[in-house]
Amino acid sequence: MEVYNGKSVFGGIAIGKLYIYNKKNLQVKRERVEDAKKEVERFRAAKNAAIKQLGELYKKATASVGAANAAIFEIHQMMLRDNDYIESVENMIRSQEINAEYAVAMTGDNFANMFAAMDDDYMRGRVADVKDISERIILILAGQESDSMETDEPVIIVAEDLAPSETVQMDKSKVLSFVTVHGSTNSHTAILARTMGIPALIGTPLPLEASMNGKLAVVDGDTGQIYVEPDEETLAGLQEKYEALQTKKQLLQTLKGKETVTQDGRKVMLYANIGNYKDLALVLENDAEGIGLFRSEFLYLESDHYPTEEEQLKVYRAVAETMAGKRVIIRTLDIGADKQVDYFEMPGEENPAMGCRAIRICLTRPEIFKTQLRALFRASAFGKIAIMYPMITSLEEIRRIKQIVAEVREELTADGIPFGEPEQGIMIETPAAVLISDQLAKEVDFFSIGTNDLTQYTLAIDRQNDQLDEFYDAHHQAVLRMIAMTVENAHKENIWCGICGELGADPELSKWFLSIGMDELSMSPGNILFIRKIIRETNVAEEGEAIRKHFL
């Protein structure tokens, strides 16, 4: 047995034979041509054919993995229309009187080296893309089709690296897992693997020898390991893990595509919480009906500088487009307390959980807030985005937010930049907000209860302090009463109310939430199908009264 450690980009277990995926050997030789003009024409025809192929790939990928993931093929098309690239190839053909294949290969290498030397992560990520487009043209020039897999049974694909176009063209029913020697976590291939929801490892130092072909292997996407020819005991253990995961998955799979509705017809919006774009695969896999909480501060935490308007727009737009018309609630940054970011240069605080965090930072540093709001308003032209403000305690804060939002609208209009009109709601996560929720409800489009903070501030128990566990009661009457009061006040003003704190996924409370009329529950994607099961088994008309009394 050989064990190799890689970096996991998606969890789960895959058991099957290895398939060593070798690219077609593109042996490009330098050859002199008599008629350079004709050779340039040959290059142009191949380039146009490549653009056409990419258009077809884009359509195919949009249908299978969504527009945002398919966007790479549009980028490839754009790269093929890039004048610098085209001129470089044509110049080489003309000045050196060489064959188009060689000029394309050289240009591809030159551009790849240039991108690799850049400081910008995004540009470095384009190295694989420029190689990919060059190989596509060379294959066309050589009269060859792109690679297709020759295997009858599902396999674990092992490759040096995989270009996005290769991943998408693969017959998905034959792929159990991807394992690559190179690749980056943010590469499009990694994103596609996540969207497909199969275990995938990158950076795995596996020998790509022909003798590896057909060997039995197990990929453990949870630990980032691949076992080649596992011994009996290891295989049995992994098989058990695989089966347990399968049983759980299969039971819940039957609920995919089903409505989240009680026996007596009450519908609940079952949404997912995410921290970044990468979590979208799980959102799709678990059939969330929307995103109830996108913790946008992770964009700031993952960056070493204030994310620019364009950087943010790119992410928000991609999420909105991937969710294709479903509601995406993006919370404005909730920095502070346990989420500290160096470049914010916040002064140290005695008690950060009660300090300068979330909306308090945004209102005292409106330039940071405005950048995010501009990106959010712009992104909402591409999907159903809703904005949610955290840590609200007063009407005055709402008034100040509205003032800044009005300025953002005016500035975007003056700049001639298109934007949409997102819904705007608030998190109810302080006792103050609960107690004035009747007034707050008149000012916003929706409420989402943040039970993590609401519990900490109501019970005066630091949510980070594990020594207080014996005093922590997630079902404390005070918290439950606050939740019930918030829902009631929301409904009086005809707005909807949900929960995005961890309590929303507490199966012991699901029926109670229904009994008090909760409209939305947002949770980690992995919990969604299980909670849908409970909701579909509940009859609020029959059980509601008893459950309500049981908890309050």
**Residues lying near Mg ion in the complex (CB under 5 A):** 429, 450, 453
Measuring CA to CA, how many Å separate 251 from each of 245, 254, 256, 522, 530? 10, 6, 10, 21, 9
* C-alpha angle 114-80-183 in degrees, rounded to nearest 5: 50
Decide if residue 453 touches ligand PEP (CB under 6 A).
Answer: yes
Q: Which tokens sit at 504?
A: 């929303």
Residue-wise over 119-146: b if at least 16 C-beta within 10 A, else e? eeeeeeebbbbbbbbbbbbbbbbeeeeb
Helix, coil or strand: residue 159 = strand
Nearer to ligand PEP (CB atom), residue 159 or residue 282 = 282
Residue 532 partner contact from Mg ion, ligand PEP, none using kind-dependent CB cut-offs of 5 to 8 Å = none
Q: What is the per-residue binding string for ligand PEP in 330-349, x denoting contact by CB under 6 A?
A: ----x---------------
Task: Specify the residue, 43 or 271, whose C-beta has the smaller distance to ligand PEP.
Answer: 271
Both tokens of 332, joined, read: 């404005």
Which of 96, 213, 303, 452 is close enough to bind ligand PEP by CB under 6 A? Answer: 452
Nearer residue to Mg ion within complex by CB, 321 or 453: 453
Is residue 501 involved in binding ligand PEP (CB under 6 A)?
yes
CB of 448 to ligand PEP, least distance (A): 8
Cα(104)–Cα(43) distance, integer angstroms = 8
451 binds, among Mg ion, ligand PEP, none (CB under 5 to 8 A by kind): ligand PEP
Q: How far is the CB of 158 from ligand PEP (least distance, A)?
A: 39
- Binding span for ligand PEP by CB under 6 A among 141-149, 176-184, 393-401, 445-453: 445-453
How far apart are alpha carbons 108 and 103 in whole angstroms? 8
166 vs 453, beta carbon nearer ligand PEP:
453
Residue 455 Cβ vs ligand PEP, minimum distance, rounded to whole Å: 8
Structure-token pair, residue 287:
């059939």
Catalytic: which of 76, 362, 497, 500? Answer: 500
Nearer to ligand PEP, 12 or 336 (CB): 336
Using rule CB under 6 A, residue 504 touches ligand PEP:
no
Residues 6+ apart with CB under 8 A from 247: none
Query: Minimum CB separation from ligand PEP for residue 433, in Å?
Result: 11
From ligand PEP, Mg ion, none, interface partner of 213 (C-beta below 5 to 8 A by class): none
How many CA atoms lie within 13 Å of 27's alpha carbon, on the beta-carbon side? 0
Binding-site partner at residue 295 among ligand PEP, Mg ion, none, CB < 5 to 8 Å by type: ligand PEP
For residues 528 and 209, what is the distance between their CA atoms, to the nearest angstrom?
42
Residue closer to Mg ion by CB (options 210, 460) is: 460
Q: DSSP secondary structure string, 30-96?
A: P-B-S-HHHHHHHHHHHHHHHHHHHHHHHHHHHHHH-HHHHHHHHHHHHHHT-HHHHHHHHHHHHHH
Beta carbon nearer to ligand PEP, 215 or 339: 339
Among 450, 517, 525, 544, binds ligand PEP (CB under 6 A): 450
Find the binder of ligand PEP among 451, 489, 527, 538 (CB under 6 A).
451
Q: Which stretch binds ligand PEP (CB under 6 A): 112-120, 145-153, 253-261, 444-452?
A: 444-452
Q: Where are the beta strands (DSSP E) in 175-215?
A: 175-180, 200-202
Decide if 500 is catalytic. Answer: yes
For ligand PEP, the binding residues in 470-499 under the rule CB under 6 A are none
Cα 194 to Cα 185: distance, rounded to the nearest angstrom: 10
Decide if residue 321 touches ligand PEP (CB under 6 A): no
State the DSSP H helix or E strand holding residue 253, giving kind and residue range, or none if neither. helix 232-253
* CB of 274 vs ligand PEP, minimal distance in Å: 11
Per-residue binder mask for ligand PEP (CB under 6 A), 280-319, x = binder: -------------x-x------------------------
Residue 331 Cβ vs Mg ion, minimum distance, rounded to whole Å: 9
> At closest approach, how far in Å is the CB of 357 from Mg ion?
9
Least separation in angstroms between CB 223 and Mg ion = 31
Q: How far is the CB of 480 from ligand PEP (least distance, A)?
A: 15
Q: Under the criterion CB under 6 A, does residue 276 sit at the interface with ligand PEP?
A: no
Q: Determine which helix (DSSP H) or strand (DSSP E) holds 193, and give its type and residue range.
A: helix 188-196
193/358 with CB nearer ligand PEP: 358
* CB closer to Mg ion out of 412 and 461: 461
Residues numbered 381 to 440 that lie near ligand PEP (CB under 6 A) are: 429
Q: What is the rounded CA–CA span in Å between residue 361 and residue 345?
A: 12
- Of 130, 500, 516, 535, which lies in the binding site for ligand PEP, with binding defined by CB under 6 A? 500
Q: Are 200 and 194 in contact (CB under 8 A)?
A: yes
Cβ-contact 293, 312 below 8 angstroms: no
Q: Which residues of 386-401 are buried (b: 16+ CB within 10 A; e: fewer)?
A: bbbbbbbbeeebbebb
Strand order in the sheet with 200-202: 2-5, 225-228, 216-220, 13-20, 155-159, 175-180, 200-202, 7-10
In the set 76, 188, 362, 497, the catalytic residue is 188
Element containing residue 142 per DSSP (H, E): none
> Is 497 annotated as catalytic?
no
Nearest to 165 by CA among 185, 143, 139, 142: 139
Q: What is the CA radius of gyration of the chain?
A: 27
Distance CA 358, CA 392 (A): 9
Residues within the interface to ligand PEP (CB under 6 A) = 293, 295, 334, 429, 450-453, 500-501
**Residues identified as active-site:** 188, 500
